[in-house]
């Protein structure tokens, strides 16, 4: 019996290492490439690296335009998150505490908004943004990203606000709290952890977006993902620098991972599946 258990444990860890290796290897490879100079890269694939070629990071971020792209991405992601969370708090409270006529169709509408292929929307947005002079501005993208982040934030927050007992609201209103007062003094403090997670995921989705940013910006509000996509050119690609910018793109995901991992499935399935 003991031997059998040992075999089972060994088997489990073997599978784990295999799967973790398969998941991590491509990312590991990218990090390794980002640390190599051109010369090192073309001497054949080696699996380890002992030195760092800092210029891969330094040149694009400080000598080239990528530092600016990085700041643009930060501004847009943060601005969008602020706007989305602000709007979502009110909307979620309405969905959670009131019976609203037609909330079923609202649900369907927000779901299709989220599922719609962005490719189908680039043309109307491009023409409208050109007309109202929002093209290549930060505010344009901040507003635009609400199209997928707002439904997302509402459905993620809804589960969390639903979990707060209604009695709390009633007690507050008996004590003479107005509706907004209740929201501010009762709901928000309780929902703070949920809000933080929602904000982080919203931020990451804005940060990660590529297609709209590539069509609707040219120079002033270009984001880092768009810059990354332009690395591959016909005259030859600096692989080391491309890998370095990819690593920079990846960093926020790694930083937030610990906080969001418990909610990421709930978030990605609109709260239909809870962990």
Partner 1 sequence: MRTSQYKAWGLLAPTLVILFFIGLVPFLYVIYLSLFKYNIWSVRGMVFAGVDNFRKLMFDSSFMHSLGIGLTFVVITCLIETLLGLAIAIFLTNEFVGKGVFRTILTLPLAIAPITIGSIWVLMTNPDIGPLPYILHKFGIDYNIGVNAKQAFFTVVFMDIWHWTPFVTLTLLAGLTSFPKEPFEAAKVDGANKWQTLRYITLPLLTPVILTMLFIRVMDTFRIFDEVWMLTGGGPGTATRFVSIDVVRRVLVSTDYGYGSSMSVFLLYLTIVMCWLLLNIISIARREVHEG
Work out whether the CA dihedral 27, 32, 35, 41 comes out positive or negative. Answer: negative
Nearest approach in angstroms of CB 189 to partner 1 is 19
Rank residues 112 and 220 by Cβ distance to partner 1 and give the closer one.
112
Closest contact distance (angstroms) between CB of 125 and partner 1 is: 6
Per-residue CA distances from 37 to 32, 159, 239 (Å):
11, 49, 9
CB of 193 to partner 1, least distance (A): 18
Give SS3 for 114: helix
Complex with partner 1: residue 50 or 233, whichever CB lies closer: 233
Q: How far is the CB of 55 from partner 1 (least distance, A)?
A: 17
Smallest distance, partner 1 to C-beta of residue 63, A: 21
Tokens 């089972």 found at: 8
Q: Is 170 exposed, middle or buried (0-12, 13-18, 19+ CB in 10 A)?
A: exposed
Cα 211 to Cα 92: distance, rounded to the nearest angstrom: 28
Looking at beta carbons only, is 13 or 58 nearer to partner 1? Answer: 13
Please tell me the distance from the alpha carbon of residue 150 to that of residue 108, in angstroms, as a whole number: 14
Alpha carbon distance 27, 41 (integer Å): 16
């Amino acid at each position: 019996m003991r031997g059998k258990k040992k075999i089972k444990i060994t088997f489990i860890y073997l599978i784990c290492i295999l799967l973790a290796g398969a998941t991590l290897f491509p990312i590991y490879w990218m990090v390794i490439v980002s640390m190599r100079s051109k010369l090192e890269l073309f001497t054949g694939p080696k699996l380890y690296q002992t030195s760092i070629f800092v210029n891969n990071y330094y040149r694009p971020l400080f000598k080239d335009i990528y530092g600016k792209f990085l700041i643009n991405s930060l501004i847009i992601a943060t601005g969008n998150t602020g706007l989305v969370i602000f709007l979502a708090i009110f909307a979620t409270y309405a969905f959670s505490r009131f019976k609203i006529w037609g909330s079923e169709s609202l649900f369907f509408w927000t779901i299709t908004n989220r599922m719609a292929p962005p490719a189908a929307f680039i043309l109307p947005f491009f023409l409208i943004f050109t007309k109202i002079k929002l093209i290549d501005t930060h505010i344009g993208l901040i507003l635009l990203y609400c199209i997928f982040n707002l439904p997302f934030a509402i459905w993620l927050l809804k589960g969390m606000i639903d979990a707060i007992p209604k009695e709390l609201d009633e007690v507050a209103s008996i004590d003479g709290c107005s509706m907004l007062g209740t929201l501010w003094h009762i709901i928000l403090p309780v929902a703070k952890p949920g809000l933080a997670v929602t904000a982080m995921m919203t931020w990451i989705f804005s940060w990660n977006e590529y297609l709209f940013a590539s069509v609707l910006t040219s120079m002033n509000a270009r984001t880092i993902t768009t810059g990354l996509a332009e690395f591959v050119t016909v005259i030859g690609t600096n692989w080391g620098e491309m890998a370095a910018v990819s690593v920079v793109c990846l960093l926020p995901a790694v930083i937030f991972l610990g906080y969001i991992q418990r909610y990421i499935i709930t978030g990605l399935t609109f709260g239909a599946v809870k962990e």
